[in-house]
Amino acid sequence: MRNNIYTPILLVLFSVWFASCTDVLDKEPLGVLDANNYFKTAEDAIQGVNAAYQPLLMNNENNNFYWVFGTLASEEALAGGDGSRPGIIEIDIMKHTAATQEINDFWKLNYAGIVQANTVISKTPQVDADQALKDRVIGEALFLRSYYHFILTQVFGDVPLILEIQAPDEVNVFRTPKAEVLAQIASDCELAATLLPLSYAGNDLGRATKGAALALAAKAYLYLKDYNSVLNRIADIKALGIYALQADYRNNFYDSTQNNSESVWEIQHENLELGVGNFLNQWWLSKKVMDGYGFCEVSMEFVNAFEPNDPRLKFTVARHNEPYFGVTYKRWKHQLYSHTIR
């Protein structure tokens, strides 16, 4: 009898408690910061496009293994390393699958960059800022969106061409033929070239420039086999009058000569500070050197591709017991050579 009395009382108490919780939790948010209300000022636009550069970084946070697809998947190098990245070995020996982590990471990373670039392109026109700044920011975003699509086509061929902000129920789309993606890249880069400056100074070094946009357009046309357009874009680049080969090939690898006249566009890294350092220096460094992982061992095929007495070889490939940028290189066990990292 006592239990029967308490049962309805407990039910009432639980009902009141759940109702109270619902009232407390079911509130309209006091503030929401999203793309629709973030882009208000010039600084907002700059911060927005800055975020679109983030996927470029070769750091551990990004897991950006673009180099794996271009270097290890070719005959230039062998996987090497300490066995901690089985996916890299799979790609090296052409046994990779859709489940290979480096492939999935690369796909997600670059589409994250495309989404951010699309957000900047869509939202920057509404910003209260000088038109020249808005044009530059949009030009940067157009270039970055093109670059991410371009390297995706290099690895995957046909890929989804994403040019607008998508709702969650719109993200499952079919792949676009590679030729259409490349044509869009060329068109977007030519537009970006009209919006971007020739160069930057100070903290803005590394942003997309007119020359970078023209160069990427030329590469897209090259893959499309539109050779006349390639030549036209190269002529446009030469007409800018700011690019030239360095007298000393080593200048392409020294820290003190970065962003020189031979470089059309460089991805900027810091010295492993705040997650913006280039991890390749450590990953590709011989295991004979402290903290070196020994990945990406240069192949004999790559070394033999140089002509006899080519002066660039000794600054491109580190060889056992030879002087190399101020140190004597030592290989690890069966490691033959090591690449130079810029």
Domain boundaries, the chain: 37-278, 279-342
pLDDT tens digit sequence for 190-234: 999 999 999 999 999 999 999 999 999 999 999 999 999 999 999
- As separate numbers, helices (DSSP H) first and strands (DSSP E) second, the chain gives 13, 6
Architecture of domain 37-278: Alpha Horseshoe (1.25)
Q: Is the pLDDT confidence value at 324 over 50?
A: yes
Q: Between β-strands 323-324 and 317-319, what pairing exists: parallel, antiparallel or unpaired?
A: unpaired
Which of 70-79, 100-109, 170-179 is predicted with the least confidence, judged by mean pLDDT?
70-79
- pLDDT over threshold 90, residue 243: yes
Could you tell me if 331 and 337 are in contact, meaning their C-beta atoms sit under 8 angstroms apart? yes
Q: What is the pLDDT of residues 246-277, one digit of tens each?
A: 999 989 888 889 999 999 999 988 765 656 67
Residue pointed to by tokens 């004999």: 300
Per residue in 31-60, pLDDT tens? Answer: 445 666 779 999 999 999 999 999 999 887
* pLDDT interval class at 170 (50, 70, 90): confident
Q: Which residue has the higher pLDDT, 323 or 85?
A: 85
| Between residues 297 and 335, the one the model is more confident about | 297
Give the pLDDT score at 29.
57
Hey, how many other C-beta atoms are within 10 angstroms of the C-beta on 336? Answer: 18
Q: Identify the CA nearest to 103 among candidates 25, 156, 32, 170.
A: 156
pTM of the model: 0.85
Q: Do 205 and 230 meet the contact criterion of CB atoms below 8 Å apart?
A: no
Q: What stretch of H or E contains 168?
A: none
**Which residues are CB-neighbours of 104 under 8 A, at least 6 positions away?**
98
Q: Residue 156 above 50 pLDDT?
A: yes
Least confident of 77-86, 112-121, 223-232: 77-86
pLDDT band at 27 (very low <50, low <70, confident <90, very high): low
Q: What is the pLDDT of residues 294-312, one digit of tens each?
A: 888 888 999 999 999 998 9
